[in-house]
Amino acid sequence: MVSILQSLGKTIHLSLALTVLLFVGLFYFGGNWAFDQLFWSWFFRYLHVLSGIMWIGLLWYLNFVQIPSMPKIPDEQKPAIGKVIAPTVLFWFRWAALATIITGLVVATLNGYVHEAMTLGIGAGGGKNTAIGIGMWLGIIMAYNVWFIIWPNQKKALGMIEVDPEQKAKSAKTAMLTSRVNTLLSLPMLLSMVMAQNLY
C-alpha cells in the first residue's frame, strides 16, 4: 500500500478503481437506475463538482499560500516556483476552470434550465433560476479571467514569453490582481450555487 501511495499516478488509479466499484455497487444494487437523463445529469454534476474543487482549490492555494509566501522565499529558491511549481499549478488551474464551465452548462442543459439561468430567471419566476444564474455568470466571468487575463500575463511573468523586466513586473501584478478578483467572486459564486441547489 505504501508503494501505491508514494506514486500520485498509482494513487489516482486506485481512487478511480474504488470510485468505479462504488458506482457499480450503488448503480446496480441501489434500485431502479437506468442510463437516462437523470443518470447523465448526475454524472455531469459529479464531474462539475470534481473540476470545481480542483479549480477553486488551486485559486485559493495561489491566493492563500503561494502569493503571500513568495516574499519569504530566498531569491535563490524562487526559480523553482516560477519554473516548476507555478506552470504545473496554472496548467491544472486553467483546464479545471474550463471543465467546470463546460460540465456546468451540460448539467443546466440536461435539467432544462440553461436559458432561464443565463437570463437570471427574468420572466421565469426568479428564485432558483436567479440564484443558479448568478453563480453561472460569476463562474463564466472567473473562467474568462483565467484564460484571457491571468494565463496570458502569467506566461510573461514566468518567462514563458520573453518580455522586458518592466513588462514582466506589470504582467505579474495584473495576473495577481485578477486572481484576487476571482478570489473575491468565488464565495458569492459558491453561495449562489449552493443556495440554488438546497434552498429552492
Q: Is the pTM of this model over 0.85?
A: yes
Q: How many other CB atoms sit within 10 Å of the CB of residue 107?
A: 23
In the chain, the largest separation of any two C-alpha atoms, in whole Å, equals: 63
* Residues 76, 65: Cα–Cα separation, whole Å: 19
User: Domain spans of the chain?
Assistant: 1-33, 34-198
Question: Which of the 8 DSSP states describes residue 130?
Answer: H
Per-residue pLDDT tens, the chain, 200 aa: give them: 899 999 999 999 999 999 999 988 888 777 777 889 988 999 999 999 999 999 999 999 999 999 999 999 998 988 888 889 999 999 999 999 999 999 999 999 999 999 999 999 888 777 899 999 999 999 999 999 999 999 999 999 998 999 999 999 999 999 999 999 999 999 999 999 999 988 87
Q: What is the pLDDT of residues 109-133, one digit of tens each?
A: 999 999 999 999 888 777 899 999 9
Q: Among candidates 168, 136, 141, which has minimal Cα distance to 155?
A: 168
Name the residue among 51, 144, 54 with its Cα closest to residue 99. Answer: 51
Contact in structure between 143 and 97 (CB atoms under 8 Å): yes
